[in-house]
Structure 1
């Protein structure tokens, strides 16, 4: 089977959806993960989560790059990595994650799919240090809100991954990159409940055991009621970006001109950059079945 070479850029360790997305990616044999980089906040803390997770599920062949730190953000999975040392990771840890990205992309004979799950400082810096990558990567990201915001509210809202670093988002969204995004319109409603949730919560594969351990740590840090942690997931925004890296048949895609305002809103504007936008679901049930299958298929 021909695989898709990917780099995953993640702000894992604040919201829990990045952890679910990483698990999903590990359950997708179509994806050849060349590198995982961490972005925003304390990126060393985030790298520890990635490394420990990969080590526990047996994927230490994947190198981990430390990205650009920015701001002090929530560290809701800190209990997971208390005492964990990066130097003990059996795989490769790279101090300059952005430089590592550039090197992998430029040396690849194939187009690299860059799956971006967080704010875009790393990607803006990547474009600065190596402008030639515009022609060598496909960007797939969880960014923006076009017609619907958080909790399905109508109207344009400033989405977290954009508003955390608006200047970087503007750089990326005005570049020559081939871009595909899942905004809140589609990713903001993804939640596993009932039998769907129980199917993965009670799974015995190493990956899902790690996910649920982290989910419980995250919920304690967030002060979520114990009943909720046993019945449903949180919103799994980033899993839709993982899916878009390999398929889009469950989604209605539209090519829209998008501009980013100074307030971090993503507005439709004919003069903006043309971006492939997953604007609504064709088959949300089909996606849930796909997601569950891949989570259970992970090591």
Structure 2
């Protein structure tokens, strides 16, 4: 069972805002497909943050066009609050061919997640800025769900945290009720060749993502995709597949490493995952999201 609300026998979708650095690792694009394939969610706004945000917006709008979906896209912070340099793969959007300039962009509105879920799968600059401008918002979210950190001992820094340690600590210091899913959990879930073939043959957008994934895996000399961001969304949708710590707080070091301190605080970190079941659920939801919206409604 997912975490959607019910009124009698009717599933009520949870308001959702997603903040993403979509376009680098294909897992962000897979996460958007998973959101589309999850009726528990009512996606109110997609925010693109970090680096060339207009290119990221173009990719997001192209994804929506390929599936016949409406998508409200907002441009978030392009630079880290910490002043750290932006990491850029250089291959962003290459599988899409010529991309149109983004149109009909909307203002960032984290408040659309009030009473619902804010899914943070990018460096946290935009969310930190938004929380600073609306200090009551963190406490009014049902859940802040963050892909970030690595909570193993002696772990290296994770991208979303080290890219803006100032923003990360600021967000973790709010009173948001938070799920945090780190690399120590997401790396246990893998999509292998058979699953990746299913994605690549799932319509026009699936074919594009198949090329994106192939190029990404070749860059790192790997033969499987780790769906970090889809797994993070799944922690809210299907929490029974995970184990979580008791509440506490996340502390970010200057070098971007993270540690969890149990006790006072409203953050819980994922401590275990049923990796085979999570991979199956991610694939099922992604494939549904890659289908044409008109075909789903038909």
Q: Give the TM-score of the pair, scaled to structure 2.
A: 0.83
User: How much has 1:143 moved relative to structure 2?
Assistant: 0.7
Report the aligned-residue RMSD. Answer: 2.2
Q: Distance in 1 between matches of 2:154 and 2:35?
A: 31
User: How much has 1:29 moved relative to structure 2?
Assistant: 1.4
In the alignment, does 2:224 pair up with 1:215? no
Q: Distance in 2 between matches of 1:82 and 1:68?
A: 25
* 1:97-146, Cα deviation, whole Å (9 max, x unpaired): 2xx223x24xx5xx120011110000000111111212222200101111
Give secondary structure in 2 for the equivalent of 1:269.
strand
Alignment partner, residue 101 of structure 1:
110
Give secondary structure in 2 for the equivalent of 1:297.
helix
User: How much has 1:209 moved relative to structure 2?
Assistant: 2.5
In the alignment, does 2:81 pair up with 1:54? no
Contact 2:172–2:249, Cα closer than 8 Å, also in 1: no
Question: 1:67 is matched with which residue: 76, 81, 85?
Answer: 76
Give secondary structure in 1 for the equivalent of 2:58.
helix
User: How much has 1:81 moved relative to structure 2?
Assistant: 5.2
Residue 297 to residue 270, structure 1, CA distance change in 2 (3 Å): closer
Q: Which runs of 5+ in 2 are unaligned?
A: 1-10, 80-84, 292-298
Question: 2:12 is matched with which residue: 2, 5, 16?
Answer: 2
User: How much has 1:258 moved relative to structure 2?
Assistant: 2.1
Alignment partner, residue 4 of structure 2:
none
Q: Distance in 1 between matches of 2:62 and 2:211?
A: 12
Q: Distance in 2 between matches of 1:265 and 1:24?
A: 28
Matching of residues 186-201 of structure 1 within 5 Å: 186-201=185-200
User: How much has 1:194 moved relative to structure 2?
Assistant: 4.2
Contact 1:23–1:207, Cα closer than 8 Å, also in 2: no
Q: Give the TM-score of the pair, scaled to structure 1.
A: 0.83
Contact 2:14–2:116, Cα closer than 8 Å, also in 1: yes
Alignment partner, residue 124 of structure 1:
128
User: How much has 1:272 moved relative to structure 2?
Assistant: 6.4
Matching of residues 220-259 of structure 1 within 5 Å: 222=219, 232-255=223-246, 256-259=248-251
Residue 215 to residue 164, structure 1, CA distance change in 2 (3 Å): same
Contact 2:249–2:260, Cα closer than 8 Å, also in 1: yes
Give secondary structure in 2 for the equivalent of 1:169.
helix
Q: Which runs of 5+ in 1 are unaligned?
A: 148-153
Alignment partner, residue 163 of structure 1:
162
Alignment partner, residue 151 of structure 1:
none
Question: 1:261 is matched with which residue: 243, 253, 260?
Answer: 253
Give secondary structure in 2 for the equivalent of 1:114.
strand
Contact 1:119–1:165, Cα closer than 8 Å, also in 2: yes
Give secondary structure in 2 for the equivalent of 1:295.
helix
Q: Distance in 1 between matches of 2:16 and 2:255?
A: 31
Question: 2:51 is matched with which residue: 20, 33, 41?
Answer: 41
Aligned residues: 272
Alignment partner, residue 29 of structure 2:
19
